[in-house]
């Protein structure tokens, strides 16, 4: 290499080093980051909605609504903590609560999974309906 070529390379390297930081993506570049993160968030939210709305939500809500329905009907029979009243309330209030809770759990679980899966992609809290600790 001759002196002219080396000096041109050094000058080009110095110029590039001084201009390169202006081409770097800013950490707060919201539109660009949103475009990059949107496909990943969409996949995470959709998978969380399917898992949480199809499995976890109906199981969780049918259990809790079963207990609520049983206590409600047992209370109407006179004593919500009485063994006889609870035994009579299970076929009426318990099964009704379980069926309605499962239906509600599908919608509530899917919404919870999509919302949490979008905000916190692939986190464990987006796949379960319990509250985050």
Q: At what angle do helices 57-76 and 95-119 cross, to 10 degrees?
A: 140
Q: How far is Cα 62 from Cα 78, in angstroms, rounded to an integer?
A: 24
32 φ, ψ to 5°? Answer: -70, -45
103 φ, ψ to 5°? Answer: -65, -45
The pTM assigned to this predicted structure is 0.67
Q: How far is Cα 23 from Cα 118, in angstroms, rounded to an integer?
A: 29
Q: Give the per-residue pLDDT at 36.
A: 84
Q: Give the per-residue pLDDT at 127.
A: 85
What percentage of the chain exceeds 90 in pLDDT?
59
pLDDT in tens, 41-51: 999 999 999 99
Taking all residues of the chain, what is their mean pLDDT, rounded to a whole number? Answer: 85
Indicate the domain borders of the chain: 30-126
Asked whether 2 and 9 are in contact (CB, 8 A), the reply is no
Q: Where does the pLDDT of residue 61 fall: very low under 50, low under 70, confident under 90, or very high at 90 and above?
A: very high
**Confidence check: pLDDT of 109 > 80:** yes
Task: Report the pLDDT averaged over residues 22-27.
Answer: 57
Asked whether 127 and 56 are in contact (CB, 8 A), the reply is yes
């Amino acid at each position: 290499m001759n002196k002219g070529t080396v000096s041109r390379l050094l000058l080009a390297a110095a110029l590039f080093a001084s201009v390169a930081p202006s081409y770097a993506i800013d950490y707060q570049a919201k539109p660009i980051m949103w475009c990059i993160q949107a496909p990943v968030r969409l996949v995470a939210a959709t998978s969380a909605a399917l898992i949480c709305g199809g499995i976890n939500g109906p199981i969780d809500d049918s259990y809790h609504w079963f207990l609520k329905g049983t206590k409600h009907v047992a209370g109407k029979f006179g004593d919500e903590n009485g063994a006889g009243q609870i035994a009579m309330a299970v076929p009426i209030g318990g099964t009704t609560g379980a069926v309605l809770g499962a239906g509600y759990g599908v919608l509530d679980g899917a919404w919870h999974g999509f919302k949490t899966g979008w905000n916190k992609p692939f986190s464990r809290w987006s796949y379960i309906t319990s509250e985050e600790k």
